[in-house]
Amino acid sequence: MDLSLDVPQNHLFIRSMDKRGIRVADEYYVSPFILSAQQIIPAWQAESLDEINASSLRPIFEMQPEVVLIGCGKTQAFLPPAIQMLFFRRDIGLEVMTTGAACRTFNVLASEGRQVVAALLPEI
């Protein structure tokens, strides 16, 4: 599914998501990665929601986002309360949603100039 037909010039964006992976600009990502409007971390050390912990969140927190979107794959799931508290203690908004929803939401928030970071677990 194409998510953006226009090519923003001032920030990274998610172009599409399909069986080849998640396309950011002209690159496809098939393993978990972290994305902000200015930076891609291509190898996120969390293969599933169960593997998200303080250590795997460190690169996200270093980006100093105002909101974090976690794309959890095809099926909606939630992080344990102890992990959610790591965000709330830093006054960082957190949304966990399907990866497709996280991709769409990232593009909207990034285009608005928000300090958004998406941590995406591809659906494939």
Domains of the chain: 14-120 (3.40.1230.10)
The predicted pLDDT at position 75 comes to 93
109 Cα distance to chain centroid: 12
Edge-to-edge order in the sheet of strand 93-97: 40-41, 33-36, 116-120, 67-71, 93-97
Q: Write phi, then psi, for 109 (nearest 5 degrees).
A: -65, -40
For residue 49, the 8-state DSSP code is G
Q: Which residue has the tokens 């497709």?
A: 100
Q: Write phi, then psi, for 113 (nearest 5 degrees).
A: 85, 15
The predicted pLDDT at position 50 comes to 94
Question: Which tokens go with 95?
Answer: 């949304």
The predicted pLDDT at position 3 comes to 45
The span from the CA of 76 to the CA of 98, in Å, is 5
pLDDT tens for the 124 residues of the chain, in order: 444 445 455 789 999 998 889 999 889 999 999 999 999 999 999 999 999 999 999 999 999 999 999 999 999 999 999 999 999 999 999 999 999 999 999 999 999 999 999 999 988 6
Helix (H, G, I), strand (E, B) or coil at 104: helix
